[in-house]
Chains A and B, each alone.
Chain A
Amino acid sequence: MIKIFKYSFSDLMRSRWSLVYLAFYLLLGFVLLFLNNDLSKGIITLMNVIVILTPMIGTIFGVMYFYNSREFTELLLAQPVKRSVIFFGQYLGVSISLSLSLIIGLGIPFLAYGLFRSGVIVNFLLLLSSGAFLTFIFVALAICIALFNTNKIKGFGYAILMWLFFAVIYDGLMLLSMMVFADYPLDNFALVASFLNPIDLSRIMILLKLDISALLGYTGALFQRFFGTNLGLIASWSMLVFWTFWPIILLIRKAQKKNF
């Protein structure tokens, strides 16, 4: 498995798109800090970018890589290697290379602007780790979709739709249902609803760590009480872990049965 991971990892790291992705984050980080110089403000702006962009890039890369390396996968399948090993190795290759681009791309500018001397290092690590988690989650979901659809166009369509659902439509439905049921107590609904969507969950976990959380008012206070406790923290991180694992398990099971 390590061999397959190594191969797809080095293949991806040498590819132009990983470099473009890395360069994009480098540029974003430097420009942001050059314009603002305030690390904690930079984190707020980056949060917006990360919770939308990492899932999108993860989705597109995942689908693209799977379809493009189909011939290589078929070649591997002819070898005496376990299927789960092949697919899991490829999955790790994609998601780790993307996460590395994110971490290096944002880490360098923040380090250059004195991350260790400021008090925001915990928030920054939270930002990076939720970005990495989102990458892992959405790459897994994307490869799943690609496995289920041999038709490239269909696969791409579903993948984009999946991203759109989590990033936009889900929030829309949440807003709509909250407005319809405005007469009922909604605090717990808001908590549970945002807990179930990994993008919303990461957004709120980061928001609560920043000054801006005061805007959330008493709903925010409820969230703060939940996420502030050890139970809340463990629950939210295990939610992200859960979101990472079930697509992987689905992916491996599908891969074992699929006819190539």
Chain B
Amino acid sequence: MLRGITIFIILSSIVFESNARSHSVCHQCDLPTLSIAVNEVSHGDTLMLEKGIYSSPGIEITKPLTLIGKPGAVLDGESKDYVLKVLSDSVFISGLEFINTGKSYTKDYAAIYIHKSSIFTLSNNLIKGSFFGILVEKSKNGQILNNRVLGNATREDQSGNGIHLWDCDSILISENKVSGMRDGIYLEFVDGSKIIKNYSHHNVRYGLHFMFSNHDQYARNKFEENGAGVAVMFSKWIRMENNRFINNWGTASYGLLLKEIYDAEVLNNTFQENTLGVYVDGSSRVNYSGNTFRQNGWAIKVSGGCYTNVFTRNNFLGNSFDVSYNSKMNDNTFNSNYWGSYAGYDLDKDGTGDVPYRPVKLFSYVVNKTPETIVLLRSLFVDIINFSEKVSPAFTPDDLVDLSPSMQVFK
């Protein structure tokens, strides 16, 4: 927030101190097209685009400018190129509608393409029917606020990402809505950025996709009914807070995938009705706290090479499997969680159960070994072996146990 204010002050000082002028752009004005307007005006000026459709394939902005669209101002890429290419610092784009970018298998045509820019703001724009929505490369200190990117992608190889950042630093992505693209939001080599309050839904692949990005935070986002949920891969020091992962349901789907993640925090998120709530693969030193797992197929599936992860104060409610492990080794800690299927008692009334809880059922262990045995799901025999394993564990990791299960759901 503080950073946002500072940026705003810097920005406004740049705009106002340089005697910036404002120009109207409309079909009957002195500046009838956007390309003429962009060439004519001087550094730091403001262009007000009146209502109308402006043909603008591949228009380059090479100086600091402010573009403001009145309601009904549409930039049309005519299905052959980028719509706007921002190649300068201090560019603000607001209130515009972008349609018809080109589609290509070799070029990443985007409605708004930003390259090597510092201090930019994209706000309140609407992007429809584009290949990539917003594509930002090698830029820093930017803000992407309250934009809507709507696509109608059906196949991964024929579609682009909604908001795509590559090699960026200190970017704020907030309150955007992305749907119907390949990945809703994609970050690669992006450091020190925040992704807040976005709503990413019905995308073909991931709602949010993180690669090789460190020191980032994403909070209060909602990811719903994406092809495979959210994937966070090969990144360090990521904070994930108060997000909602809902209804990512399908045979190869999950709420959140953590692949090679170190030193991350997963706090107060809600995972609801996903085939897999969290799929942890090769991730270490991750804290999971205050999360709620409700009605998932598997709440947490831990795959090989996960060390010193800590699960505390999470709620596990009505999942088919709470925790699934693929080995007898365990280096992770489960402590003070609320388990919906816990059947113990609390005689001393201190709020924690007196009997330890073993979250890994024998059947989930068997399924991990031999995936085909899943056809016995909900068979009476499976209930019987689960019960006998609960009484005397022989196959599941015997140190994988919650010694102080909570008796109350955490609020």
Using CB atoms and an 8 Å cutoff, list the residues of chain A in contact with chain B. 47-48, 52, 167-169, 171-172, 174-175, 178-179, 182, 186-187, 189-190, 194, 200, 203-204, 207, 211-212, 214-221, 223
Cα distance A219–B376 in the bound complex, in angstroms: 11
Using CB atoms and an 8 Å cutoff, list the residues of chain B in contact with chain A. 249-251, 253, 275, 297-298, 320, 366, 369-382, 384-385
**Are A171 and B370 touching (Cβ within 8 A)?**
no
**Are B377 and A217 touching (Cβ within 8 A)?**
no
Cα distance A52–B384 in the bound complex, in angstroms: 13
**Are A182 and B369 touching (Cβ within 8 A)?**
yes
Cα distance A221–B372 in the bound complex, in angstroms: 11
**Interfacial chain B residues near A174, Cβ < 8 Å:** 376
Cα distance A174–B370 in the bound complex, in angstroms: 12
Take A217-B371, A219-B371 as given contacts and tell me if A171 and B251 are in contact as well, using a CB distance cutoff of 8 Å: no
B372: which of A168, A186, A211 is its contact (CB, 8 Å)? A186
Q: What is the distance, in angstroms, from A103's C-beta to the closest C-beta of chain B?
A: 22
**Are B371 and A218 touching (Cβ within 8 A)?**
yes
Take A203-B378, A207-B377, A212-B320 as given contacts and tell me if A175 and B366 are in contact as well, using a CB distance cutoff of 8 Å: yes
**Are A186 and B370 touching (Cβ within 8 A)?**
yes
**Are A175 and B378 touching (Cβ within 8 A)?**
no
Cα distance A212–B375 in the bound complex, in angstroms: 12
**Are B380 and A217 touching (Cβ within 8 A)?**
no
**Interfacial chain A residues near B366, Cβ < 8 Å:** 175, 179
Cα distance A182–B377 in the bound complex, in angstroms: 17
B381: which of A172, A189, A214, A220 is its contact (CB, 8 Å)? A172
Cα distance A211–B361 in the bound complex, in angstroms: 22
Cα distance A221–B251 in the bound complex, in angstroms: 8
**Interfacial chain A residues near B298, Cβ < 8 Å:** 215
**Are A190 and B251 touching (Cβ within 8 A)?**
no
**Interfacial chain B residues near A214, Cβ < 8 Å:** 249-251, 253, 275, 297
**Are A168 and B384 touching (Cβ within 8 A)?**
yes
**Interfacial chain B residues near A172, Cβ < 8 Å:** 381, 385
A171: which of B369, B372, B379 is its contact (CB, 8 Å)? B379
Cα distance A214–B276 in the bound complex, in angstroms: 10
**Interfacial chain A residues near B275, Cβ < 8 Å:** 214-215
A190: which of B250, B369, B375, B382 is its contact (CB, 8 Å)? B375
A175: which of B320, B371, B376 is its contact (CB, 8 Å)? B376
**Interfacial chain B residues near A215, Cβ < 8 Å:** 275, 297-298, 320, 374, 377
**Are A52 and B251 touching (Cβ within 8 A)?**
no
With CB as the reference atom, state the residue of chain B lying closest to A181: B370
Q: What is the distance, in angstroms, from B238's C-beta to the closest C-beta of chain A?
A: 27
**Interfacial chain B residues near A47, Cβ < 8 Å:** 378
Q: Specify which of B253, B371, B372, B377 lies most central, judged by the most chain A CB atoms within 10 Å of its CB.
A: B372
Take A175-B366, A179-B369, A203-B379 as given contacts and tell me if A211 and B374 are in contact as well, using a CB distance cutoff of 8 Å: no
**Are A167 and B251 touching (Cβ within 8 A)?**
no
**Interfacial chain B residues near A194, Cβ < 8 Å:** 375
**Interfacial chain B residues near A178, Cβ < 8 Å:** 370, 372-373
Q: What is the distance, in angstroms, from A187's C-beta to the closest C-beta of chain B?
A: 6
**Interfacial chain A residues near B379, Cβ < 8 Å:** 171, 200, 203
- The list of the 8 closest CB pairs from A to B, nearest first, reads A171-B381, A186-B372, A215-B297, A182-B370, A171-B379, A190-B372, A190-B375, A214-B275
**Interfacial chain A residues near B372, Cβ < 8 Å:** 178, 186-187, 189-190, 219
**Interfacial chain A residues near B250, Cβ < 8 Å:** 214
**Are A204 and B375 touching (Cβ within 8 A)?**
yes
Q: Specify which of B249, B253, B373 lies most central, judged by the most chain A CB atoms within 10 Å of its CB.
A: B373
**Are B378 and A168 touching (Cβ within 8 A)?**
no
With CB as the reference atom, state the residue of chain A lying closest to B275: A214
* Listed A/B pairs (10) with beta-carbon separation below 8 Å: A169-B381, A171-B376, A172-B381, A179-B366, A179-B369, A186-B372, A189-B372, A203-B379, A207-B377, A212-B320
**Are B297 and A168 touching (Cβ within 8 A)?**
no
B380: which of A171, A187, A223 is its contact (CB, 8 Å)? A171
**Interfacial chain B residues near A171, Cβ < 8 Å:** 376, 379-382
**Interfacial chain A residues near B373, Cβ < 8 Å:** 175, 178-179, 190
**Interfacial chain B residues near A219, Cβ < 8 Å:** 371-372, 374-375
**Are B382 and A211 touching (Cβ within 8 A)?**
no
**Are A179 and B370 touching (Cβ within 8 A)?**
yes
**Interfacial chain A residues near B374, Cβ < 8 Å:** 215-217, 219-220
Q: What is the distance, in angstroms, from B222's C-beta to the closest C-beta of chain A?
A: 21
With CB as the reference atom, state the residue of chain B lying closest to A168: B381
Cα distance A189–B375 in the bound complex, in angstroms: 11
**Interfacial chain B residues near A179, Cβ < 8 Å:** 366, 369-370, 373
With CB as the reference atom, state the residue of chain B lying closest to A220: B251
Identify 14 new A-B residue pairs, CB closer than 8 A, beyond the known A220-B251, A223-B375. Answer: A171-B376, A171-B380, A171-B381, A175-B385, A178-B372, A182-B369, A186-B372, A190-B373, A200-B375, A203-B378, A214-B275, A214-B297, A219-B371, A220-B375
Cα distance A168–B383 in the bound complex, in angstroms: 10
**Are B380 and A168 touching (Cβ within 8 A)?**
yes
Q: What is the distance, in angstroms, from A41's C-beta to the closest C-beta of chain B?
A: 9
